[in-house]
Amino acid sequence: MLDPAIVFASVLNGLTTGAVYALIALGLTLIYGVLHIINFAHGAALMAALYGVYFLHQKAGVDPYLALPLMVPAMFGAGYLLYRWVIGRASHGRDENILLVTLGIAIVLENLALYLWRSDTRTIETAYTFAMVPIGAAMIAAPKLAAFAGALCATAALLYVVTRTDLGRAIRACAKERQGARLVGIDVEHVFAMSFGIGLACLGAAACFLLPAYYVNPQVGSGFVLIAFTIVVLGGMGSFVGALAGGLLIGVVESLGGLWLGESLGQIGIFLIFIAVLLFRPQGLFGARA
Amino acid sequence: MSLEARGLSISFGGLKAVQQVSLTVREGSLSALIGPNGAGKSTFFGLVSGFLKPDAGSVHLHGREITGMAPHAICRLGMTRTFQIVQPFAAQTVRENIAVGAHLREPRRARALERAEAVARRVGLGAQLEQPAASLTIAGRKRLELARALATEPKLLLLDEVLAGLNPQEVAEMIPVIRALRASGITVFMIEHVMQAVMNLAEQVWVIAHGALIAAGSPGEVTRDAKVVEAYLGHGAAARLQQLAAEPGHA
Amino acid sequence: MRPLALIAGLAGAVALLPAVVESGFVLNMAIMTLYTALIAQAWNILGGFGGQFSFGHAVFFGTGAYAMAVLQVKLGLNAWLALPVALTLGAAVGAMIGALTFRYGLRGSYFALVTLAFAEVFRILANTFQFTGAGVGIQIPLRESAADLQFAGKPGFLFAILALTVASLVIAWWLKHSRYGAWLQAVRDNEDSAAALGVDVFRVKLAAIALSGALMSAGGAFYLQYFRYVDPHIAYGPAISVEALLAAIVGGMGTIFGPLLGALVLHGLGEATRSLMQNAPGINLVIYGVLLVLIVMFLPRGIAGLFGRKA
């Protein structure tokens, strides 16, 4: 059997990777929970955010973590406009239409990036890129620990906004009963756009935490899409705690899977979980029945 | 074709939607199931037509047990239902819609389309055969719903509020159509709210309230039943009505 | 014009192409356009006629391509004998996925995502096992002989893809004029109503995904014979899934000629972009993405919708 120290390190790595996955999934689950749309452009938007963080660092020397107050509002604005101008207009009722529209947006973003910046994989180097922190017998990369902390904070922040603020109340109203919300004077389209914006803002944060320990190229987003959906479905559509728990769980599954089955086969566990959850327990761990 | 329900029950969460309902629809009859909103009428239809699985009880079609059978299988045996909230195949024409029903008995496309046309004329949709189903009015859609069901050549027809949403003129036009169905040998079992139709058409009426059967008999008997009055008008209504009737000066 | 006559006319016109045109470039364009029309029609059967949108149709494509490759290279089977096996496998994979997803009532967006997950699972498996060449993929030897389903020149391949595409068009025609097709479209438009009218919804959907899978794997088989190479990314990656659904939707879902129209538009636009932008990577896909969004927003019945209901 495998050395417990290696398994321990693998689990820790999985948790920190999973935290970043959770950050990505948080936005996705909010968008699904409120707008009931499956945002296929989520991965591509993350890729765009990663490029944003990358260029801020390369051209303006902005440290990724310091870029947070720039990226988060920027992504929020982009999401708000994207919803208002494109997605909101394409509704027409059928939810498959939204799926196709977000797919179209994903295709546009990915290939625009390909055209503008070619397919080279890019990374950044900062003072702490290689810093390691000892935890128990394992050494964990400092950026990944920061990501873990970031995910916890983001979950807490989202929970606060949704449960304690007026916007949050409006969001919950629109999520539960669109017509009723309109009848009490809530500007539903505005609330939806806000929610979509918040969802993309989470990606802005995720990008800041992700880039120091990862890389960016135009295809990077599509690699995250299915994983993010798996987490959202596993945790339960619309549940933030579920996205966090699901993210951590999937991160560990991927890490341990890679350990036991090798890099290539390791990811298969994630997709099998996805299929199994959709077939046998579509409401996930924490979600309400769809 | 006769239909018998024995002790049918179903609950959703804690709500007992249908409780121990037993009734027998005689072959060749035209009967109705009435009751206040939310009484469980459509749920009952769902149970006998295979869309819902009962928690207890059984359903028998012409002596054969069909409890738990899939809806399409029950339709093939000869019982077809319509839906209260009409759901046409929106992207297709009236003729194509009805043809789907006709195909149950007719595998050839051209013949099915011909049959569809004949059925359409029977219910008064002859002029709209080439129109997309989505463009029909409510009355038109109700006729389409009926036409589709008729095209399957049922021996027993379950009509779920086929008159709901129609104005009095349209109701008056539909009544003879329904009567003609029965005359052609189809057993008809309707859920209806429109009392004018029930009184006019039904030989046998069952009344359901809060999921349970509270009365059965001819339309006249049932509407005079105190329990039925209470179910529709509220507790104590029967007594109050009697009091009013007994007061001097009251017609 | 009656659809069957139109199909025959188009087939005749294309068949005459090699007699009239010598340019390898033009012949290749014709081949690739027909190939796109084939895979789009495969998607259309399940998505357009059946109403079940798959985002992972590559799962069938890759199965067809790999089946042809493995059977020829590892088992020495002749390509013509491998072809029916590839088609059967495509149908079988379809039936397997359908049996699982339809039994558990997966529809709409969930169905789309699950098909994507299946494509990914197959991609990872193909990437892992030596049987399928792992990450390196499989190359079949150059034979240039009709007996091996390869042809010395482009005309041969043109006739092959023409045959397959015509078959797919006839199948679409059949869906518009048969009882099964009527059942399938009824299921697409309203499952409950269809069930109430005696349609066995599960069996109908299952047959559709199997048929769609077989046709898609035919596309994969052709791809392998024409390009003689396949790897996990080509076989099971998102590019093929997107190409199939894009052409079908742009051209018009649920119509006979929609996939062909879509293929013509996409390839036409692609060529125009290529000459305007000098081969800049990604630009024609950007245009396709914009086109998809515009079509869904403003022209949901696709380009065929402009021709009225008869397509």
Among A86-90, B110-114, C258-262, C285-289, which is the least confidently predicted range?
A86-90
Tokens of C131: 């049987």
- Judged by DSSP in three states, A254 sits in helix
Separation in Å, CA of C198 to nearest CA in chain B: 4
Domain that holds residue B132: 3-246
Query: Is A276 inside a domain boundary?
Result: no
**CATH of residue B241:** 3.40.50.300
Query: What residue in C sits closest to B93 (Cα-Cα)?
Result: C309
> What is the rounded average pLDDT for all residues in chain A?
86
At residue A176, the pLDDT reads 81
In angstroms, the CA B44 to CA C218 distance is 48
SS3 letters across chain B: CCEEEEEEEEEECCEEEEEEEEEEECCCCEEEEECCCCCCHHHHHHHHCCCCCCCEEEEEECCEECCCCCHHHHHHHCEEECCCCCCCCCCCEHHHHHHHHHCCCCCCHHHHHHHHHHHHHHHCCHHHCCCEHHHCCHHHHHHHHHHHHHHCCCCEEEEECCCCCCCHHHHHHHHHHHHHHHHCCCEEEEECCCHHHHHHHCCEEEEEECCEEEEEECHHHHHHCHHHHHHHHCCCHHHHHHHHHHCCCCC
Q: Does B183 touch chain C (CB under 8 A)?
A: no
Cβ-defined contact of C254 to B91 (cutoff 8 Å): yes
Task: List all residues 6 or more positions away from C300 whose beta carbon is below 8 Å from its beta carbon.
Answer: A92, A97
**Of A166-180, C97-111, C197-211, where does the model show the most confidence?**
C197-211
Q: What is the CA radius of gyration of chain A?
A: 19
pLDDT range class, residue C309, cuts 50, 70, 90: low
Mean pLDDT confidence for A51-61:
91
At residue B191, the pLDDT reads 93
**A143 or A204, which is more confident?**
A204
- Of chain C, the percentage scoring pLDDT greater than 70 comes to 98
In angstroms, the CA A126 to CA A123 distance is 10
Residues of A in contact with C239 (CB under 8 A): none
Which chains does C contact via 3+ CB–CB distances below 8 A? A, B
Q: Where are the domains of chain C?
A: 3-240
Interchain CB contacts (distance < 8 Å): A and C = 124
**C308 or A223, which is more confident?**
A223
Cβ-defined contact of C179 to B112 (cutoff 8 Å): yes
Q: Does B111 touch chain C (CB under 8 A)?
A: no
Inform me whether the pLDDT recorded for B224 exceeds 80.
Answer: yes
Interface of C with B in 64-83 (CB under 8 A): none
Beta bridge partners of B15: B12
Q: Does A289 touch chain C (CB under 8 A)?
A: no
> Cβ distance B161 to B193 under 8 Å?
yes
At residue C311, the pLDDT reads 41
Number of C-alpha atoms within 13 angstroms, CB side, residue A214? 25
Beta bridge partners of B12: B15
Domain count, chain A: 1
In angstroms, the CA C33 to CA C267 distance is 6
Angle between helices C283-298 and A95-117 (to 10 degrees): 160
What is the ipTM score, two decimals? 0.89
**Of A100-109, A240-249, C86-95, where does the model show the most confidence?**
C86-95
Query: What residue in A sits closest to C301 (Cα-Cα)?
Result: A97
Cβ-defined contact of C238 to A222 (cutoff 8 Å): yes
Tokens of A7: 């398994």
Cβ-defined contact of C183 to B80 (cutoff 8 Å): no
**Interface present between A and C (3 or more CB pairs within 8 Å):** yes
* Residue-level length of chain C: 311
Inform me whether the pLDDT recorded for B225 exceeds 90.
Answer: no
In angstroms, the CA C117 to CA C224 distance is 23
Cβ-defined contact of B75 to C196 (cutoff 8 Å): yes
Residues of A in contact with C238 (CB under 8 A): 222
At residue A55, the pLDDT reads 92
Which chains does A contact via 3+ CB–CB distances below 8 A? C
Cβ-defined contact of C121 to A272 (cutoff 8 Å): yes
Separation in Å, CA of C88 to nearest CA in chain B: 26
Q: Does A260 touch chain C (CB under 8 A)?
A: no
Inform me whether the pLDDT recorded for A1 exceeds 70.
Answer: no
Mean pLDDT confidence for B107-132:
93
Q: What is the pLDDT of residues B121-157, one digit of tens each?
A: 988 899 999 999 999 998 899 999 999 999 999 999 9
In angstroms, the CA B178 to CA B183 distance is 9
- Name the residue among C116, C128, C280 with its Cβ closest to that of A115: C280
Query: Is A192 inside a domain boundary?
Result: yes
- Report CA torsion sign: B7, B11, B14, B15: negative
Q: Does A2 touch chain C (CB under 8 A)?
A: no
Domain count, chain B: 1
At residue C253, the pLDDT reads 93
Domain that holds residue A106: 27-221
Inform me whether the pLDDT recorded for B250 exceeds 70.
Answer: no
At residue B127, the pLDDT reads 92
Query: What residue in C sits closest to A39 (Cα-Cα)?
Result: C109
Cβ-defined contact of C296 to A101 (cutoff 8 Å): yes
Q: What is the pLDDT of residues A107-121, one digit of tens each?
A: 999 999 998 998 888
At residue B29, the pLDDT reads 93
Tokens of B97: 């819609």
Query: Is A87 inside a domain boundary?
Result: yes
Mean pLDDT confidence for B25-50:
91
Inform me whether the pLDDT recorded for A264 exceeds 80.
Answer: no
Cβ-defined contact of C113 to A278 (cutoff 8 Å): yes
Interface of A with C in 229-258 (CB under 8 A): 229-230, 233
Separation in Å, CA of C107 to nearest CA in chain A: 10
Cα–Cα distances (Å) from B220 to B193, B194, B202, B204, B214, in that order, read: 16, 15, 10, 10, 15
Residues of C in contact with A218 (CB under 8 A): 282
- Name the residue among C128, C135, C296 with its Cβ closest to that of A100: C296
Inform me whether the pLDDT recorded for A145 exceeds 90.
Answer: no
Cβ-defined contact of C195 to B51 (cutoff 8 Å): yes
Mean pLDDT confidence for C98-124:
91
Task: List all residues 6 or more positions away from B153 whose beta carbon is below 8 Å from its beta carbon.
Answer: B104, B105
> What is the rounded average pLDDT for all residues in chain C?
92
Query: What residue in B sits closest to C188 (Cα-Cα)?
Result: B89
Which chains does B contact via 3+ CB–CB distances below 8 A? C
Cβ-defined contact of C189 to B91 (cutoff 8 Å): yes
Query: Is B22 inside a domain boundary?
Result: yes
pTM for the whole structure? 0.91
Q: What is the pLDDT of residues C122-145, one digit of tens each?
A: 999 999 998 888 889 999 999 888
Cβ-defined contact of C193 to B89 (cutoff 8 Å): yes
In angstroms, the CA B140 to CA B146 distance is 10
At residue A181, the pLDDT reads 82
At residue A93, the pLDDT reads 57
Interface of B with C in 17-76 (CB under 8 A): 49, 51, 70-73, 75-76
> Cβ distance B33 to B219 under 8 Å?
no
Cβ-defined contact of B149 to C194 (cutoff 8 Å): no
Phi, psi of A140 (to 5 degrees): -115, 135
Inform me whether the pLDDT recorded for A290 exceeds 70.
Answer: no
Query: Is A132 inside a domain boundary?
Result: yes
Query: What residue in C sits closest to A268 (Cα-Cα)?
Result: C121
Q: What is the pLDDT of residues B59-98, one digit of tens each?
A: 999 989 999 899 999 999 999 999 988 889 988 999 999 9
Cβ-defined contact of C128 to A262 (cutoff 8 Å): yes
Query: Is B251 inside a domain boundary?
Result: no
Cβ-defined contact of C189 to B90 (cutoff 8 Å): yes
Inform me whether the pLDDT recorded for C277 exceeds 80.
Answer: no
Separation in Å, CA of A271 to nearest CA in chain C: 6
At residue C153, the pLDDT reads 85
Task: List all residues 6 or more positions away from A287 whose beta carbon is below 8 Å from its beta carbon.
Answer: A235, A236, A237, A238, A239, A242
